[in-house]
């Protein structure tokens, strides 16, 4: 008998023995899992994938997920916008874990579709109130000292925006999926601004994208000098086209609309430009008709990703609640969770790198006997800010706006394990 | 004039002005870049991608890189192995930045091709010297308390193995590309072993993969209890098929062959099993005919990824040297680089999260006047271990082995910017 066959037989004998022995011992762990008392063919039989050679190396020079993961995709909501070219797709948060968002699943928000830019032809111009106007090629940018790698979340100001008037969309992909978190590589914007020499009168910056919409936003110079970056890579490789390839602006902790994609132009001026995206859009209309403007910072927020409407409980017994928390003001210091709609709270366990202005992963283990649950999470950042309820937000801001809803989300879990987006008062 | 047209005109006027003004001012930064004194059409003309709408959201529910990045792929070396089913493909390190390896570009090493496993049918059995034999479904594993997220490098013991007998393969993709670094999500192996109850006599563990090769490796129990994990996710999403979907073993800091993919069986015993992959393979044959065995730890190592043979210098002037360092014994404490083959060393700048048992990114800025360079890097970990030269390694280990070559790599950069894999004494 050769070595491979011996291994296989050892394996089969062992599986046969364990298939019987394990069945009852596991009952405590997996009370909800149906498990036959007789040996399971999934254990005792040699599976198809062990009978023959699979695909070799470099058959897929750039790999993709398993065919069993085809349901893990970005999704849009057809009725939400008039066309897909000016619309949004949502990150499937309920299918993900850890804090890194896979580049292929990062939510999209376009105003005129995805610009497919030739990096050789792309330029970044810096002009206005500067000593030296500059035009940079991609190659120029990669020659500057001070290249940096940072993990940041990017959240659309309209994330959870449909929830202002009550629970609407069923699934955290749709209520909270306008967010992603990747490691960027690029250059501090300060490096370029210093290279151009900002004049004393220069206090504001206009960033402009190179797609057909020429998206523009005004940014205060002090923010630009503090921690903004121009980035050409995400999660180790070049930016994806839908994330601004070959160059995007990072405005850490601030609303995603300001993170100009396909970045082509930066102008320095002495006052904001009052473009469409900071007047008619991305301002927060209050109940009395006045509007909050320049509300750039994304306040502390969290969401339970499992269980949630797209990720029901599979059965009774031990469970792992999982979720994400973040703050545009710093690092997440603590996350609390409740299973009874806020009567009792317990502290969740934060795991993995907990970085400032980054998504933070939390878990809370619990045992479920089939009772109805009202699950919520509440984030607290290192400034001491506590994530408010939706009702607390509405009392101050009304329900006219679609922006900056960081209220506490509620999932109702029913006796069959299915979860639903609900609101409780 | 509507807002969009005004923006476009402001943009064009600005670009026209800056195209002239910037040209000379940039000369200091980009001495090597040819730049016309007359305005560049890439700047002054409206580009194709700004003339029409691009693809909308969710047109690609799972996104892929830009078509301009088609060269960034895993590659194999045809003459290296008899077939692709038992072979290796290499990570394109020279095209990447930061510390996260994109899942689609993680190097592959298979012994019978990629097993395409149905996660519903997959089982993990734990048996042998345990109180309770167990068979776990994927769903069972996701119900245990203590789920964790960790960033670890995985390096094949044979990485740089072709270099024992001198410089051979031209490019860090091929000399050092059997490595990747991702964030894993899974469960400490200790949790499962405690659940099964390891008997006092149990000192070793055999891990077995579920593909046709039934890959097996022996692992000391104390390592398994210290920091090994069973992982089902990488970089936020399910493991890729070529990385062991739906379940792989993590053996942090130790040679990649032990990180059993498609993990189906763990047996506890009182001694190692002496399987093929730890006797005829993955032992280090010395000059006197004896072999080192159980040489699991990957010692501190580094490589300059830019410039390198696949990533030449584009022109004279300011440059950013970039590279990776790692150690299987802890965190990287310092990296030194030399431009003259080791006569003078300077400390590189480490950037980004510097985590234990993870790739660490370093940079060194320099100015290049076109002279010949002999570039090397040297990693030092937090145990004080200093990466040796290849010659120092050969004096102790000879040249019979293909494993555990962590010697210092040399790139010769010629006057035209092209780089070559060379060896200097």
A-chain CB neighbours of B184 within 8 Å are: 98
Gap between the Cα atoms of A361 and B331, Å rounded? 23
Q: Which of 1.10.10.10, 2.60.40.150, 3.40.50.620, 2.60.40.650 is the CATH number of B301-422?
A: 2.60.40.650
CA-based nearest residue to A342, from A369, A364, A375, A372: A375
Mean predicted confidence (pLDDT) in A20-39: 41
CA-based nearest residue to B119, from B262, B265, B266: B262
Gap between the Cα atoms of A187 and A392, Å rounded? 39
Omega of the bond leading into A99 within 30 degrees of 0 (cis): no
CA-based nearest residue to B311, from B76, B33, B92, B99: B92
What 8-state DSSP symbol labels residue B211? S
Residue-level pLDDT at B349: 98
CATH superfamily of B86-292: Oxidoreductase, molybdopterin-binding domain (3.90.420.10)
3-state helix, strand, coil in chain A (%, to 5): 20, 30, 45
The distance from CA A325 to its chain's CA centroid, rounded to whole angstroms, is 10
The mean pLDDT value of chain A amounts to 91
Residue-level pLDDT at A8: 41
A-chain CB neighbours of B110 within 8 Å are: 54, 56-57
Residue-level pLDDT at A353: 85
Residue-level pLDDT at B28: 44
Omega of the bond leading into B246 within 30 degrees of 0 (cis): yes
Gap between the Cα atoms of A300 and A233, Å rounded? 26
B-chain CB neighbours of A97 within 8 Å are: 147, 149, 185, 233, 236
pLDDT band at A12 (very low <50, low <70, confident <90, very high): very low
Gap between the Cα atoms of B135 and B126, Å rounded? 6
Residue-level pLDDT at A44: 78
Interior/surface letters B71-104, b for 16+ CB within 10 angstroms, e for the rest: ebbbbbeeeeeeebbbbbbbbbbbbbbbbbbbbb
- Which of B23, B123, B205, B237 best tests the A interface by mutation, with the highest count of A CBs <10 A? B237
Q: List the single residue in A54, A83, A98 with the smallest CB-CB distance to B112.
A: A54
- Which of A4, A45, A58 best tests the B interface by mutation, with the highest count of B CBs <10 A? A58
Q: How many C-beta atoms surround the C-beta of residue A136 within 10 A?
A: 25
pLDDT band at A39 (very low <50, low <70, confident <90, very high): low
Look-up of token digits 């019987």: A20
Lowest-confidence region among A193-197, A328-332, B5-9, B398-402: B5-9
A-chain CB neighbours of B46 within 8 Å are: none
Return the domain boundaries, chain A.
3-50, 86-292, 301-422
Q: List the single residue in B10, B50, B99 with the smallest CB-CB distance to A149.
A: B99
What 8-state DSSP symbol labels residue A101? P
Q: Do B22 and A125 touch (CB under 8 A)?
A: yes
Residue-level pLDDT at B425: 73
Residue-level pLDDT at A354: 86
Please enumerate in sequence order all residues whose Cβ is within 8 A of that of B10, keeping only pairs 6 or more positions apart, or say none: A267
Please enumerate in sequence order all residues whose Cβ is within 8 A of that of A108, keeping only pairs 6 or more positions apart, or say none: A74, A88, A89, A114, A242, B57, B58
- For the stretch A396-423, pLDDT in tens is 999 999 999 999 999 999 999 999 999 9
Please enumerate in sequence order all residues whose Cβ is within 8 A of that of B33, keeping only pairs 6 or more positions apart, or say none: A137, A139, A140, B26, B314, B315, B317
Residue-level pLDDT at B175: 98
Q: How far is CA A94 from CA B127, B143, B196, in A?
A: 33, 16, 30
CA-based nearest distance B5→chain A, Å: 9
CA-based nearest distance A26→chain B, Å: 7
Gap between the Cα atoms of A415 and B388, Å rounded? 62
**Closest CA in chain A for residue B6:** A214
pLDDT band at A23 (very low <50, low <70, confident <90, very high): very low
Q: How far is CA B90 from CA A317, B28, B87, B169, B301, in A?
A: 43, 37, 10, 12, 17
Burial of A190 per CB tally in 10 Å (0-12, 13-18, 19+): middle
pLDDT band at A38 (very low <50, low <70, confident <90, very high): low
CA-based nearest distance B53→chain A, Å: 5
Element (H, E) at A192: helix A189-196
Residue-level pLDDT at A378: 98
Residue-level pLDDT at A407: 98
Please enumerate in sequence order all residues whose Cβ is within 8 A of that of B9, keeping only pairs 6 or more positions apart, or say none: B1
Gap between the Cα atoms of A214 and A112, Å rounded? 9
Q: Are B122 and B246 in contact (CB under 8 A)?
A: yes
Q: Do A133 and B18 touch (CB under 8 A)?
A: yes
Gap between the Cα atoms of B64 and B42, Å rounded? 26
- Which of B12, B40, B49 best tests the A interface by mutation, with the highest count of A CBs <10 A? B49
- Give me A260's structure tokens: 């100009």
Mean predicted confidence (pLDDT) in A142-166: 96
End-to-end CA distance of chain A: 70
Q: Are B251 and B215 in contact (CB under 8 A)?
A: no
Give the DSSP letter string of B108-148: EE-SS-B----TTT-EEEEEESBSS-EEEEHHHHTTSS--E
B-chain CB neighbours of A4 within 8 Å are: 213-214
Pairing of β A263-269 and β A204-209: antiparallel
Q: Are A105 and A118 in contact (CB under 8 A)?
A: no
B-chain CB neighbours of A136 within 8 Å are: 26
Q: List the single residue in A62, A134, A319 with the smallest CB-CB distance to B143.
A: A319
Residue-level pLDDT at B87: 95
Gap between the Cα atoms of A93 and A70, Å rounded? 15
B-chain CB neighbours of A214 within 8 Å are: 4, 7-8, 11, 50
CB pairs under 8 A between A and B: 458
Look-up of token digits 């095209």: B95
Element (H, E) at B154: strand B148-155
Residue-level pLDDT at B38: 53
What 8-state DSSP symbol labels residue B407? P
Interior/surface letters B369-392, b for 16+ CB within 10 angstroms, e for the rest: ebeebbbbbbbbbeeebebbbbee
Gap between the Cα atoms of A407 and A421, Å rounded? 13
Give chain B's residues under pLDDT 70. Answer: 1-39
What 8-state DSSP symbol labels residue B239? P
pLDDT band at A312 (very low <50, low <70, confident <90, very high): very high
The distance from CA A94 to its chain's CA centroid, rounded to whole angstroms, is 11
Q: Do A50 and B115 touch (CB under 8 A)?
A: yes
Residue-level pLDDT at A266: 97
Residue-level pLDDT at B42: 75
Residue-level pLDDT at A43: 74
- For the stretch A74-105, pLDDT in tens is 999 999 999 999 999 999 999 999 999 999 99
DSSP bridge pairs for B89:
B76, B108
**Closest CA in chain A for residue B239:** A65
A-chain CB neighbours of B86 within 8 Å are: 56
Gap between the Cα atoms of A315 and A418, Å rounded? 10
Q: Do B101 and A211 touch (CB under 8 A)?
A: no
Strands (DSSP E) found in A103-199: 108-109, 123-128, 134-137, 148-155, 179-188
Q: List the single residue in B22, B112, B320 with the smallest CB-CB distance to A53.
A: B112
The pTM assigned to this predicted structure is 0.93
A-chain CB neighbours of B93 within 8 Å are: none
Residue-level pLDDT at A16: 45
**Closest CA in chain A for residue B18:** A133
CA-based nearest residue to B117, from A47, A55, A60, A51: A47
Give the ipTM.
0.92
DSSP 3-state of B78: helix
């Amino acid at each position: 008998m050769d070595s491979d066959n011996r291994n296989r037989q050892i394996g089969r004998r062992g599986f046969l023995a364990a298939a019987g022995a394990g069945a009852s011992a596991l009952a405590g762990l997996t009370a909800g899992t149906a498990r036959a008392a007789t040996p399971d063919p999934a254990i005792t039989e040699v599976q198809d994938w062990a009978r023959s050679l699979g695909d070799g190396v470099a058959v897929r020079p750039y790999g993709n997920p398993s065919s069993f993961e085809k349901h893990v995709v970005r999704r849009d909501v057809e009725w939400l916008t008039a066309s897909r070219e000016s619309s949004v797709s949502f990150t499937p948060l309920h299918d993900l874990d850890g804090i890194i968002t896979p580049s292929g699943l990062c939510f999209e928000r376009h105003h005129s579709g995805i610009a497919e830019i030739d990096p050789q032809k792309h330029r970044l111009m810096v002009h206005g109130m500067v000593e030296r106007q500059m035009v940079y090629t991609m190659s120029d940018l990669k020659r500057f000292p001070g290249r940096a790698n940072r993990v940041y979340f990017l959240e659309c100001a309209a994330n959870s925006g449909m929830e202002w008037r009550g629970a609407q969309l069923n699934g955290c992909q749709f209520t909270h999926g306008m967010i992603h978190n990747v490691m960027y590589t690029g250059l501090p914007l300060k490096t370029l601004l210093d290279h151009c020499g900002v004049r004393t009168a220069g206090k504001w910056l206009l960033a402009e994208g190179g797609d057909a919409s020429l998206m523009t936003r005004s940014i205060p110079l002090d923010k630009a000098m503090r921690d903004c970056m121009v980035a050409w890579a995400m999660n180790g490789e070049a930016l994806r086209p839908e994330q601004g390839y070959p160059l995007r602006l990072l405005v850490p902790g601030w609303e995603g609309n300001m993170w100009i994609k396909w970045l082509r132009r930066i102008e320095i001026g002495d006052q904001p430009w009052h473009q469409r995206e900071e007047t008619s859009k991305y301002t927060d209309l209050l109940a009395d008709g006045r509007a909050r403007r320049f509300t750039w910072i994304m306040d502390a927020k969290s969401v339970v990703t499992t269980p949630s409407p797209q990720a029901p409980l599979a059965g009774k017994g031990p469970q792992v609640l999982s979720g994400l928390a973040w703050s545009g003001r710093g690092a997440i210091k603590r996350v609390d969770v409740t299973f009874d709609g806020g009567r009792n709270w317990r502290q969740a366990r934060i795991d993995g790198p907990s970085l400032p202005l980054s998504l933070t992963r939390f878990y809370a283990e619990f045992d479920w006997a089939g009772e109805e649950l009202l699950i919520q999470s509440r984030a607290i950042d290192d400034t001491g800010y506590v994530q408010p309820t939706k009702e607390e937000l509405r009392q101050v801001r009304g329900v006219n706006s679609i922006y900056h809803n960081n209220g506490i989300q509620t999932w109702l879990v029913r006796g069959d394990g299915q979860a639903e987006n609900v609101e409780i008062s």
